[in-house]
């Protein structure tokens, strides 16, 4: 047949999705090709995080939000960034935090002047509405935890927040995002996460959540937003994290979940959110974070999560497995340029082993060996998602935004600590792509806040 087997024939038969995929692959491979062609000494410079530019971008954005009024959803993405940029990198946080505090006052949560019963303000189009919503509640609580300190933490009205969470609970056990809103796994996670970090999680809130999430795990192994939908990276993270928080992670089919998520890392080195979808920087956290959760489970050789809610199950049967200092780093700097095969498929070197059903494999020194290619993902984040003028983006050709900046940085942190047995053992330079100054603080993978800030909040809410 005419055109059969030729590039033209291939193009003619291609679906719109295939054409999009090839376009993205071409863009990404051009970037990697250009990077590979420059001298090694210059590569290090290219791999540097442009932290000053990122801070500038975020500070400018935050100021614009203040000028506009207040939009909790966007503001909290910026505040997350405050967490990744200022707390983590310890770069002159005072100016940034000052702006953040102004913003928090604008949100009405400072000095006990909390709006309504929860964090409720966000934009619909050009109109600002004040309706309590679980997504903004989650983001606002995490932002206050990130800010830290008595003033920020005590500004949260936990009694009213508990009432709000109870009202969002459906008779099925799952949660809805807002009054008369959609019921899904995201709502379950945000509700359980907020309740857990504020130390108000109880049996009433947790009841039925596990069964709902189990009903959302699909034949592929990942978790969908609601029963009958397609497995998706964001919902898989939300579902697994919620199940860990209510001590029911073992009820999931973890073997098929791992298989599904491991195969979501593609030839571009980043993750896709769903089967046959395009790579996207934000899944660096949604999918990478799934691995961070799994490797902390004692069943996989991890050391638990350091929360009183979940350590009963996860820490009680954990085993001490030696010192990370003794790690074998011979393969840490393996090829940064994984070669796609003829068909452009993912290299088999990234494939999970059949034994992933029972454990994340350890080297002979008991060093954690993550189930995804952490150096390759760092390469995608730094070279393809990072904007040299500040901020991060979904993929080359897309515009930067605060959401992707937040989740690319969280994904980067997950990669850097993926070989560490616990958050107190800093990664070796061989686990950090580029200069060691690229190292971020560890995040707590259950909540996506800086670990240190999480521990401070945990202590605070155990007392008050
Ligand atoms: Zn995205």
CA 282 to ligand 1 center in whole angstroms = 4
Which residue out of 253, 332, 401, 456 is catalytically annotated? 401
> Does 101 score more than 50 pLDDT?
no
pLDDT category of residue 364 using cuts at 50, 70 and 90: very low
Region 56-76 average pLDDT: 61
DSSP state letter for 176: B
pLDDT of residue 299: 77
Establish whether 274 is a catalytic residue.
Answer: yes
Query: Which three-class secondary structure string do you get for 273-321?
Result: CCCCCCECCCHHHHCHHHHHHHCCCHHHCCCCCCCHHHHHHHHHCCCCC
Query: DSSP readout, 87-149?
Result: IHH---HHHHHHHHHHHHHHTT-GGG---TTS--EEEETTEEEE---HHHHHHHHHHHHHH-H
Q: What pLDDT is recorded for position 228?
A: 97
Confidence of residue 345 (pLDDT cuts 50, 70, 90): very low
303 — pLDDT class (breaks 50, 70, 90): confident
Burial of residue 298 (CB within 10 Å: 0-12, 13-18, 19+) is middle
282 is an active site residue: yes
Burial class (CB in 10 A: 0-12, 13-18, 19+), 167: middle
- Mean pLDDT along residues 31-36: 97
pLDDT (average), residues 363-377: 75
Q: Is 232 a catalytic residue?
A: yes
Residue of 393, 404, 421, 458 marked catalytic: 404
Ligand 1 centre to CA of 2 (Å) is 39
Burial of 197 by CB count in 10 Å (0-12 exposed, 13-18 middle, 19+ buried)? buried
CA distance 169 to 209: 9
**Would you say residue 236 has pLDDT above 90?**
yes
Packing angle of the helix pair 93-106, 72-81 (nearest 10 deg) = 160
Q: In 10 A of CB 118, how many CB atoms?
A: 26
pLDDT of residue 314: 32
Going from the Cα of 278 to the center of ligand 1, the distance in angstroms, rounded, reads: 10
Q: Residues lining ligand 1 (ion), CB within 5 A?
A: 280, 282, 394
Q: Kindly indicate the confidence band of residue 110, based on its pLDDT and cuts at 50, 70 and 90.
A: very low
407 catalytic? Reply is no
Task: Note the pLDDT tens digit of each residue in 165-202.
Answer: 999 999 999 999 888 899 999 999 999 999 999 999 99
Which one of the listed residues 169, 277, 327, 458 is annotated catalytic? 277
Q: Which long-range contacts (CB under 8 A, 24 or more apart) does 400-406 make?
A: 400/57, 402/58, 402/61, 402/74, 402/77, 402/78, 402/81, 403/77, 403/282, 404/281, 404/282, 405/54, 405/57, 405/58, 405/77, 405/81, 406/77, 406/80, 406/81, 406/84
Closest Cα to residue 383, out of 126, 47, 129, 26?
47
CA 23 – ligand 1 centroid, Å: 17
Q: Looking at residue 216, what DSSP letter applies?
A: T
Active-site residue identified among 32, 80, 212, 283 = 283
Q: Answer yes or no: are the C-beta atoms of 237 and 192 closer than 8 Å.
A: no
Per-residue CA distances from 69 to 58, 66, 75, 106, 132 (Å)? 16, 5, 10, 8, 18
Distance CA 184, CA 204 (A): 18
Instruction: State the distance from the centre of ligand 1 to the C-alpha of 276, rounded, in angstroms.
Output: 15
Q: Among candidates 196, 245, 161, 244, which has minimal Cα distance to 458?
A: 196
More confident residue, 360 or 43: 43
Q: To the nearest 10°, report the CA torsion of 412, 416, 420, 426.
A: -120
Q: Of 274, 393, 400, 419, which one is the catalytic site residue?
A: 274
Q: How far is CA 259 from CA 114, 224, 390, in A?
A: 44, 15, 35
For residue 25, the CA-to-ligand 1 centroid distance in Å is 17
Average pLDDT, integer, range 204-221: 98
Q: Which of 54, 232, 296, 419 is catalytic?
A: 232
Distance CA 236, CA 243 (A): 10
Q: Give the range among 11-20, 88-97, 411-420 with minimum mean pLDDT.
A: 88-97
Residues 70-84, mean pLDDT to the nearest whole number:
50
pLDDT at 1 exceeding the cut of 90: no
CA of 132 to the centre of ligand 1 (A): 25
What are the residue ranges spanned by the domains of the chain? 49-156, 157-250, 264-319+346-433
Q: What is the pLDDT of residues 246-302, one digit of tens each?
A: 999 999 999 999 999 999 999 999 999 999 999 999 999 999 999 999 988 887 777
Whether 373 shows a pLDDT value over 60: the answer reads yes
């Amino acid at each position: 047949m005419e055109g059969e087997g030729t590039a033209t024939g291939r193009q003619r038969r291609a679906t719109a999705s295939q054409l999009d995929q090839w376009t993205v692959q071409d863009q990404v491979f051009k970037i990697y090709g250009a990077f590979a062609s420059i001298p090694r000494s210059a590569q290090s410079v290219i791999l540097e995080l442009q932290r000053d530019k990122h801070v500038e971008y975020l500070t400018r954005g935050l100021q614009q939000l203040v000028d506009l009024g207040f939009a909790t959803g966007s503001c909290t993405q910026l505040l997350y960034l405050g967490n990744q940029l200022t707390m983590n990198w310890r770069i002159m946080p005072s100016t940034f935090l000052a702006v953040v505090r102004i913003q928090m006052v604008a949100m009405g949560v400072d000095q006990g002047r909390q709006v309504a019963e929860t964090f409720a303000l966000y934009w619909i189009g050009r109109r600002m509405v004040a309706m309590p919503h679980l997504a903004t509640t989650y983001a606002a609580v995490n932002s206050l935890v990130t800010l830290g300190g008595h003033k920020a933490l005590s500004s949260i009205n936990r009694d009213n927040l508990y009432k709000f969470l109870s009202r969002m609970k459906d008779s099925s056990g799952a949660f809805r995002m807002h009054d008369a809103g959609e019921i899904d796994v995201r709502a379950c996670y945000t509700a359980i996460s907020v309740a857990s970090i504020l130390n108000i999680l109880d049996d009433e809130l947790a009841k039925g959540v596990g069964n709902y999430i189990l009903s959302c795990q699909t034949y592929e192994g990942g978790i969908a937003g609601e029963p009958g939908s397609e497995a998706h990276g964001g919902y898989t993270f939300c579902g697994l994290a919620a199940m860990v928080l209510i001590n029911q992670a073992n009820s999931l089919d973890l073997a098929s979940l791992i298989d599904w998520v491991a195969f979501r890392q593609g030839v571009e080195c980043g993750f896709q959110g769903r089967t046959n979808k395009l790579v996207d920087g934000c899944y660096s956290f949604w999918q990478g974070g799934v691995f961070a959760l799994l490797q902390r489970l004692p069943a996989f050789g991890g050391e638990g999560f350091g929360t009183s809610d979940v350590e009963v199950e996860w820490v009680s049967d954990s085993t001490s497995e030696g010192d990370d200092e003794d790690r074998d780093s011979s393969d840490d700097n393996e090829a940064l340029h994984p070669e796609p095969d003829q068909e452009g498929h993912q290299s088999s070197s990234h494939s999970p082993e059949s034994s992933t059903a029972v454990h994340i494999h350890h080297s002979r020194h008991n060093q954690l060996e993550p189930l995804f290619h952490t150096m390759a993902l760092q390469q995608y984040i730094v070279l393809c998602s990072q904007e040299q003028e500040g901020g991060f983006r979904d993929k080359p050709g897309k515009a930067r935004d605060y959401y992707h900046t937040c989740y690319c940085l969280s994904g980067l942190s997950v990669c850097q600590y993926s070989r560490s047995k616990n958050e107190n053992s800093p990664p070796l330079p061989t686990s950090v792509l580029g200069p060691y100054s690229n190292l971020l603080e560890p995040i707590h993978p259950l909540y996506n806040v800086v670990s240190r800030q999480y521990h401070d909040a945990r202590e605070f809410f155990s007392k008050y």
